[in-house]
């Protein structure tokens, strides 16, 4: 069942008789939506229907699922046709998100509701609090993911470095979008630094309607003295744990 969940239709076209993951994806999408809806309804009784719908949408979006899949290295395990594999299919958010839904569907068929619920909460539990903090909250990583998924069909890529003694470490993050450096940030944790970098990149992309060209490799706005960095205080705003 797991093999089928990882089988993209491009691979099935080259291997006649093998079912793709599309039916499992259909099932997994429904299971995922119900698990998230049930949890939000019970855990956040103060949220009105409109806000519940917004939070759910952010959690089950292709961008969010693609990031989860990337964190689990699902792309390495995908069964892709030669053409799709050669064109970077293992990193495409749409393919990763579909595979994640198919895996959830396969788990539901194999272990029922309880196993599927446990899997979904393990995958998305850390994101739920940030999403429920408010519409968009300060979760700039999620905002950037969604924007990159829509505009480039790629996920942003983060690089982290650290400095200072163990009891007072500080972290620096850079984020690249479609191969171009778009943001830098600092924080007292890796997540804070990533959020800060994502905030810079998100604002940069919003101010640039068209996809970046080769000249976009230049440093983000701000000079070498660090004008493009977001202060630690900003990085630690609510929702920075995403």
- Reduce the DSSP state of residue 220 to 3 states and report it: coil
Closest by CA to 137, choosing from 195, 79, 207, is 195
d(CA 184, CA 200): 7
- CA distances to 71, 92, 149, 198, 228 from 67, rounded to whole Å, are 6, 10, 10, 14, 25
Query: At 10, phi and psi to the nearest 5?
Result: -65, -35
- Sheet containing 170-177, strands listed edge to edge, beginning at the edge strand earlier in sequence: 157-163, 170-177, 180-187
Sign of CA pseudo-dihedral 57, 58, 60, 61: positive
79, 8 contact by CB (below 8 A): yes
* Catalytic positions, written as ranges: 29, 101
Cβ neighbour number for residue 136 with a 10 Å cutoff: 14
Q: Which of 129, 132, 144, 135 is nearest to 199 (CA)?
A: 144
């Amino acid at each position: 069942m797991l093999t089928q969940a990882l089988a993209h239709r491009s691979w099935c076209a080259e291997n006649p008789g093998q079912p793709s993951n599309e039916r499992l994806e259909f099932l997994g999408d429904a299971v995922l939506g119900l698990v998230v809806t049930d949890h939000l309804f019970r855990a956040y009784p103060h949220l009105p229907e409109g806000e519940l719908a917004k939070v759910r949408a952010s959690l089950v979006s292709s961008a969010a699922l693609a990031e989860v899949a990337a964190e689990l290295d699902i792309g390495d395990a995908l069964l892709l046709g030669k053409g799709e594999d050669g064109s970077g299919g293992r990193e495409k958010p749409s393919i990763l998100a579909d595979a994640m839904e198919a895996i959830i569907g396969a788990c539901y068929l194999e272990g029922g509701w309880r196993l599927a619920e446990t899997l979904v909460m393990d995958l998305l539990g850390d994101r739920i609090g940030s999403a429920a903090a408010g519409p968009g909250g300060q979760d700039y990583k999620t905002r950037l993911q969604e924007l990159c998924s829509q505009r480039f069909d790629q996920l942003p890529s983060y690089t982290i470095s650290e400095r200072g003694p163990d009891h007072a470490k500080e972290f620096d993050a850079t984020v690249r979008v479609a191969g171009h450096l778009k943001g830098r940030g600092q924080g007292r944790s890796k997540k804070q630094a990533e959020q800060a970098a994502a905030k810079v990149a998100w604002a940069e992309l919003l101010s640039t309607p068209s996809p970046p060209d080769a000249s976009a490799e230049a440093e983000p706005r701000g000079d070498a003295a660090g004008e493009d960095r977001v202060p630690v205080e900003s990085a630690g705003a609510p929702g920075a744990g995403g």
